[in-house]
């Protein structure tokens, strides 16, 4: 009897280990994942404006491309805005506080697995350049996600800026696991040109997608391993193999 049980256990473990990996790899990597993209600013709040180019417009353009790429991988994707407006949508008496309050509420209302907030940087120094990925300083998962996206993103931006823990409200006040990406500096003339280029924007989005998938698949593998361990343990306990 015990021999039969052991054989059945082996088969189950075999299925868990060796079948599910190739089966799921064939599926789209972000199937069943919900992602919120937050194109920073909008409406009366343009964010950084450099050489006549507005951050909120570039944020939206990148976010729309990212949405398509994530959807192509099977994710359900929401944008906090899909046009030139801030969250109050009242178009007068802009209030950063109201905008952020509503933005945070909107983000969490989707009950998403991930949040990606898209921004462009600016500095008083025209020399400053490079992408940078931020996470909420108190979030270990946020840090790992930021690191994964940063590794991928740097293959395009060549940035030397490290990931950084921060207290930005969009990450601090939301329950959704998230990162904020400063894709580059609009105040740097060359980088501003790159950031406006559709081709460069697509490359950025490909890498953000890759970084997110890398993190997500690592988490899934770790969760599966944990599940297998529990399964094995409960089996051994149940049949008193200890």
Binding site for Zn ion (CB under 5 A): 40, 47, 119
Which burial class, exposed, middle or buried, applies to 49 when counting CB atoms under 10 A from its CB (0-12, 13-18, 19+)? middle
3-class DSSP assignment, residue 5: helix
3-class DSSP assignment, residue 134: strand
> In terms of CB distance, is 64 or 228 closer to Zn ion?
64
Is the CB of residue 157 less than 8 Å from the CB of residue 203? no
> In terms of CB distance, is 40 or 43 closer to Zn ion?
40
Rounded to a whole number of angstroms, the minimum distance from the CB of residue 40 to Zn ion is 4
Is the CB of residue 80 less than 8 Å from the CB of residue 112? no
Rounded to a whole number of angstroms, the minimum distance from the CB of residue 58 to Zn ion is 10
Distance CA 107, CA 35 (A): 10
Rg (CA), the chain: 22
Rounded to a whole number of angstroms, the minimum distance from the CB of residue 122 to Zn ion is 8
Rounded to a whole number of angstroms, the minimum distance from the CB of residue 191 to Zn ion is 15
Rounded to a whole number of angstroms, the minimum distance from the CB of residue 69 to Zn ion is 21
Beta strands in 146-212 (DSSP E): 164-166, 178-185
> In terms of CB distance, is 40 or 178 closer to Zn ion?
40
> In terms of CB distance, is 41 or 210 closer to Zn ion?
41
Rounded to a whole number of angstroms, the minimum distance from the CB of residue 182 to Zn ion is 7
Rounded to a whole number of angstroms, the minimum distance from the CB of residue 55 to Zn ion is 5
> In terms of CB distance, is 33 or 121 closer to Zn ion?
121
Which burial class, exposed, middle or buried, applies to 229 when counting CB atoms under 10 A from its CB (0-12, 13-18, 19+)? exposed
- Find the residue with minimal CB distance to Zn ion: 119
> In terms of CB distance, is 45 or 150 closer to Zn ion?
45
Is the CB of residue 48 less than 8 Å from the CB of residue 121? yes
> In terms of CB distance, is 24 or 123 closer to Zn ion?
123
Cα–Cα nearest to 216, from 90, 109, 69, 75: 75
Query: For residues 132, 125, 59 and 87, what is the CA-based torsion angle, rounded to 10 degrees?
Result: 100
Is the CB of residue 98 less than 8 Å from the CB of residue 88? yes
């Amino acid at each position: 009897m015990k021999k039969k049980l052991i054989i059945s256990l082996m088969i189950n473990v075999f299925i868990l280990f060796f079948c599910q990996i190739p089966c799921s790899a064939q599926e789209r990597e972000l199937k069943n994942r919900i992602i919120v993209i937050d194109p920073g600013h909008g409406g009366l709040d343009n964010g950084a404006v450099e050489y006549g180019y507005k951050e909120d417009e570039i944020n939206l353009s990148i976010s729309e491309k990212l949405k398509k790429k994530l959807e192509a991988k099977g994710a359900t994707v929401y944008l906090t805005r899909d046009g030139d407006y801030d969250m109050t949508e009242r178009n007068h008496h802009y209030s950063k506080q109201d905008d952020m309050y509503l933005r945070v509420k909107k983000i969490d209302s989707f009950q998403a697995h991930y949040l990606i907030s898209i921004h462009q940087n600016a500095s008083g120094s025209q020399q400053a350049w490079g992408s940078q990925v931020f996470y909420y300083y108190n979030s270990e998962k946020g840090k790992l996600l930021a690191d994964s996206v940063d590794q991928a993103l740097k293959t395009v931006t060549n940035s030397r800026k490290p990931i950084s823990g921060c207290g930005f409200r969009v990450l601090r006040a939301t329950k959704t696991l998230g990162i904020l990406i400063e894709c580059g500096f609009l105040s740097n003339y060359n980088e501003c040109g790159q950031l406006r280029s559709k081709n460069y924007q697509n490359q950025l989005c490909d890498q953000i997608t890759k970084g997110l998938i890398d993190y997500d698949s690592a988490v899934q593998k770790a969760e599966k391993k944990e599940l297998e361990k529990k399964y094995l343990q409960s089996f051994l306990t149940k049949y008193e193999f200890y």
